[in-house]
Structure 1
Amino acid sequence: MAESLATLQRRWADHVRNPSMPAPDGIEAWRLAIYRRLCIDSLDSLLASTLPRLQAQLGVARWRAAVEHYYARHACHTPLFPQIAGEFAAWLAGQEEIALPGWATELAHYECTQQALYLEARQAGRPLQHEPSGNDMLAVSPLVRVLGYQWPVREDTMLDQALTAAPTLVLLRRRADSSLQVEELAPLAYALLTAFGEDGARVDDALQALADAQGVVTAGLRTVCMPLLGELCTAGALVVPCDS
């Protein structure tokens, strides 16, 4: 009995994604191989346009192996080309079938975050018009990302030899002209921004949570943090959420 068109298409697609799967009858192997190479090359180019440093750092063999493994085993949940690299980065972070260096997932996340922030259209939130007080509701600006990594993902050095004891803490900001600015964060600024998060919190609540996490007295932490909090508000890293 002849296969239905849907079954034939599924067998064809399965084989093109993963040549270990049986090919449809009556189609020359070389034709399928050409089509498979064209499909993977298209995915390779798409991912490399967002992840150029990851591609360069991995090298030709490891990069291509990761792309082919992803192509064969992962079914994308997004139909939008700009989001496919983000899905690839999330896949890298969760898969254990191929051996990749420890820095690969962090570098992929960093590059994808840059692209996402550049493309997103979100309201910026309202600047705080006065010195911050305990009852003010603040959140990390939608035009900002607060990022922390073990590896020095900002640097162009070969990451295989560049693991350092200090984490890489950065604030990634989209400016009014849509260009991206990257700033290093001190550990206290990173912890303070993380305490507010994108959803926001009252100043007193965020400082209490931070004091509890660090095991310090809230009053002492408040003395240190309030001037820094004012600087972060002035710089636009912390804003009043739009729904407040």
Structure 2
Amino acid sequence: MLPFQAYQHAFTAHLRDPKRHDKPDGVNDQRMRIYREIVFNNFLASVRACFPVLSQLLGKRRFGKLVRACFYAQPFESPLFADIPKTFVDYLQTGTLPNVDIPAFAAQLAHYEWVELAVSRQVETHHDATISTQITTPDGLRPCVLKLPEVHRLLDYDYPVQCISKKNAHPTPEATFLLVYRTPDYQVRFIQLNVITFQLLQQFQANTTSALDHLTTLAHSLPHLPAASIIEFGLQTLHTLHQQQALCVKSPYPLLETLPL
């Protein structure tokens, strides 16, 4: 390691964890203290801005202690301030947290708060061509290929994270399914799903086929429910999601012969 590299390593190590790493020789103590405060306060501000609910629930002292522990321990791979919140989410998900009294749902709440930023910033690697004809009825979706654009996200949590607030700081564990999507004008929106709709949308991510074929497959996985009802309700649900701009509708798919219901 070259001398200037060794100096940089010692300098940054001291900034992140001054209790474990001495400052480099020849650096003024007062200036180093000011620099430590500026760097950490900028880091703290970037984190707090993305997690208003979690920071309010924990309070200034506990939240600051948790952020400082992340600042000490978590590796950083990006020089961008906008990527700092993801580092904090990753840290909470490691499970190796400091001795800070935080609720069991903290990591999931943080992920929920961060995902809006992630979806708003994500760059699409390709754009799917969609049909120009507006689908005006649920039945019109039967032969169509429906797809979740790559920037949209299906999320499942053990807590109703979207309901957590300072007034609801002790939620009961409950399986929660969400769709986070971005409209063409870059508005990020959230929709709560039931487990069946969540399962159906997962099928869209895994396979390319018509809406009717997906619903037929779903019906076969739920033999205790009337297949015709699943298909009718499913088409209505998909049509609503399409109208909300949560689903991408591609060209009609040649309807294949489906298994008997």
Q: Aligned residue for 2:256?
A: none
CA contact (8 A) 1:54 1:108 kept: yes
Q: Aligned residue for 1:13?
A: 12
**Local SS of the residue matching 1:162:** coil
**Local SS of the residue matching 1:79:** coil
CA contact (8 A) 1:148 1:167 kept: yes
Q: Give the gaps of 5 or more residues in structure 1.
A: none
Q: Give the gaps of 5 or more residues in structure 2.
A: 254-261
Further displaced range: 98-107 or 168-177: 168-177
Shift of 1:172: 3.0
Paired residue type of 1:126: T
CA contact (8 A) 1:152 1:162 kept: no
- Cα distance change, pair 216–118 in 1 and its aligned pair in 2 (3 A): same
**Local SS of the residue matching 1:96:** coil
Identity across the alignment (%) = 23
**Local SS of the residue matching 2:57:** helix
Q: Aligned residue for 1:47?
A: 47
Q: Deviations over 1:75-96 (max 9, x none)?
A: 2122332222123212211241
Q: Aligned residue for 1:67?
A: 67
**Local SS of the residue matching 1:154:** helix
CA contact (8 A) 1:127 1:239 kept: no
Q: Aligned residue for 1:83?
A: 83
CA contact (8 A) 1:195 1:209 kept: no
- Cα distance change, pair 95–114 in 1 and its aligned pair in 2 (3 A): same
**Local SS of the residue matching 1:170:** strand
Further displaced range: 162-171 or 204-213: 204-213
Q: Deviations over 1:91-147 (max 9, x none)?
A: 21124132432221112111211112223353475258552336x432213464333
Shift of 1:231: 3.1
Paired residue type of 2:80: L
Paired residue type of 1:235: Q
Q: Deviations over 1:147-179 (max 9, x none)?
A: 332323223523874322533333334344433
Q: CA RMSD in A?
A: 3.3
CA contact (8 A) 2:56 2:166 kept: no
1:193 & 1:28 partners in 2: Cα distance? 58
1:192 correspondence with 2:200: yes
Shift of 1:23: 2.6
1:96 & 1:209 partners in 2: Cα distance? 41
Q: Aligned residue for 1:22?
A: 22
Shift of 1:18: 0.8
- Cα distance change, pair 219–81 in 1 and its aligned pair in 2 (3 A): same
CA contact (8 A) 2:14 2:21 kept: yes
Q: Aligned residue for 2:259?
A: none
CA contact (8 A) 1:127 1:236 kept: no
1:121-200 superposed matches below 5 A: 121-122=123-124, 123=127, 126=130, 129=133, 131-133=140-142, 136-142=144-150, 144-155=152-163, 157-158=165-166, 161-197=169-205
2:250 & 2:46 partners in 1: Cα distance? 35
